[in-house]
Amino acid sequence: MVNDLIAGVAAGLRPGKHNVRLADIVTKLQAASHEQAAEMLLRMPDARAVGALDRPEFEAAPDVLALLPLHRATRLISEMSQDRAADVLAAMGDDADPILAALTPDVRGSLDALLAWPADSAGGMMTTEYVSVPAAGTTVARTLDHIRTVERSRETVYSVYLLDEAGVLVATVSLRRLISADPDSLVIDLARGREPVTVLPTTDREVVADLIRRHDLLAVPVVDDARHLLGIVTVDDVLDALVAEHTEDAQKFGGVEALDRPYLDTGFLSMIRKRAGWLSVLFLSEMLTASAMQHFESELERAVVLTLFIPLIMSSGGNSGSQATSLIIRALALGQVRLGDWWRVALRELPAGLVLGGILAIVGIARITLWQKLGFYDYGVHWPLIAATVGAGLIGIVTFGSLCGSMLPFVLQRLGFDPASASAPFVATLVDVTGLVIYFTIALAILSGTLL
């Protein structure tokens, strides 16, 4: 993708010669050491520094701000968009305290309100810089006048929110609807005859993203239980949330706790911590494979030839399981499949597993037959029985893997966990242990009296 990106930049994106884009400044700041970045920020005019700090891609912002003189850091924080300023302060931890203390009570009050919500909730993503007008009696012309006076100080104006005297959200009116309307008409008459889509401050960012996407909104209002307007979540923050969610899911799927910083900025020890936990859990569960093998030790000693196919059979089970898991996790996340659909999924995965296992069984049996006939390897006089064992084992394990892999996300969701934590390695471990038992049970059934 980066290759495409560079090509895209070279071909489609022709930046103006004299104006450095904010996005490029941020790239430079991110690439520099924290000390260098602080130097660069100090030399920038406030407006540019604020613009750079406002970008979520400037992930080193909390560390860099901590290096700036207090008065400058405080001024920059005051001028940043409030939702981003709250995120940066939250990431600064104790370093934020002197800045918070130096802020004017006004700014500090609204930042405190934002800091109260978790970063991955609507409350943590929202900005309080929306445009609102009284619902009763306001004309379109007055609304447009109001927008003109506040436009510069608001992060984004896509819609105007109509409030009653108590601050309760009555309706939303989009900018383009305002422009097209008769200036003398009442703005409340432009609102469609339905209540606006809203979220609570505690609503999860994934749900917010889903609502914005499904209703093609540019911003969604955040209201409290009494429908008082608290703030808005804008589409640009939702884009960033979707990308963060994507990263988190990919890392969970790979069996890593989500990193808080970009890969190269994550400290060595913190990186080890994020990985060692899951790796050890998987290792401890995988130890059951050694126990399973020990259980079948006498069979192993009598027929060492069986061990040759253990890695092959185990990995096929793991692969079919991770296929099923990745399909179902996304189908659940997108709402294409619901909890109650588990039996429909099971009814599809059972025959799918049988067919996929059958395909691999044919390939596996062909491989053994070929090697035996061509003299590449001698599996002994009972080689057709061994081929049959491997074939039957593959069918059993791939079917079991598909079923396990598809059902685990349902189980996790039912228990209240994120189904994405049913990461592929977890399924693989589950399937490995049971797969060995399936394989040896089939071997006993087929080979008992001959090899075993």
Contact region with a second copy (CB under 8 A), list: 1-9, 39-47, 83-91, 100-108: 1-9
If binding is defined by CB under 8 A, does position 209 make contact with a second copy? yes
CB of 69 to a second copy, least distance (A): 28
CB of 45 to a second copy, least distance (A): 16
> Which string of b and e fits 420-437 if b means at least 16 CB within 10 Å?
bbbbbbbbbbbbbbbbbb
If binding is defined by CB under 8 A, does position 373 make contact with a second copy? no
CB of 320 to a second copy, least distance (A): 6
If binding is defined by CB under 8 A, does position 90 make contact with a second copy? no
CB 439 within 8 A of CB 310: yes
If binding is defined by CB under 8 A, does position 206 make contact with a second copy? yes
What is the footprint of a second copy within residues 374-393 (CB under 8 A)? 377
Q: Give helix 424-447 / helix 383-414 axis angle, nearest 10°.
A: 150
CB of 277 to a second copy, least distance (A): 10
CB 106 within 8 A of CB 77: no
DSSP 95: G
What is the footprint of a second copy within residues 275-314 (CB under 8 A)? 275-276, 278-280, 282-284, 286-287, 289-290, 293-294, 297, 300-301, 304, 307-312, 314
CB of 250 to a second copy, least distance (A): 5
Considering only 42, 101, 136, 355, the residue that binds a second copy (CB under 8 A) is 355
CB 392 within 8 A of CB 361: yes
CB of 246 to a second copy, least distance (A): 5
CA distance 16 to 100: 38
If binding is defined by CB under 8 A, does position 370 make contact with a second copy? no
Name every residue whose Cβ is closer than 8 Å to that of residue 265 and which is 6 or more positions away in sequence. 59, 60
CB of 21 to a second copy, least distance (A): 7
What is the footprint of a second copy within residues 48-77 (CB under 8 A)? 55, 57
What is the footprint of a second copy within residues 3-32 (CB under 8 A)? 3-5, 8, 11-16, 18-19, 21-23, 26
CA distance 416 to 125: 23
CA distance 299 to 285: 23
Q: Which is nearer to a second copy, 71 or 344 (CB)?
A: 344
Pairing between β-strand 219-223 and β-strand 169-174 as defined by DSSP bridges: unpaired
Which residue has 């996005």 as its token pair?
23
Can you list the alpha helix ranges (DSSP code H) found in 306-382? 310-333, 342-374
Considering only 404, 428, 447, 451, the residue that binds a second copy (CB under 8 A) is 428
Contact region with a second copy (CB under 8 A), list: 34-42, 95-103, 327-335, 442-450: 327-335
H or E stretch at 230? strand 229-234
Considering only 97, 164, 189, 213, the residue that binds a second copy (CB under 8 A) is 213
If binding is defined by CB under 8 A, does position 78 make contact with a second copy? no
Beta bridge partners of 121: 204
The one-letter amino acid code at 114 reads: L
Residues in binding contact with a second copy, number by CB under 8 A: 153
Considering only 78, 139, 389, 429, the residue that binds a second copy (CB under 8 A) is 429
What is the footprint of a second copy within residues 227-256 (CB under 8 A)? 235-236, 238-240, 242-243, 245-247, 249-251, 253-256
If binding is defined by CB under 8 A, does position 132 make contact with a second copy? no
How far CA 70 is from CA of 42, 248, 268, in Å, comes to 12, 34, 30
How far CA 130 is from CA of 146, 172, 220, in Å, comes to 12, 11, 11
CB of 310 to a second copy, least distance (A): 6
Closest by CA to 64, choosing from 86, 32, 87, 24, is 32
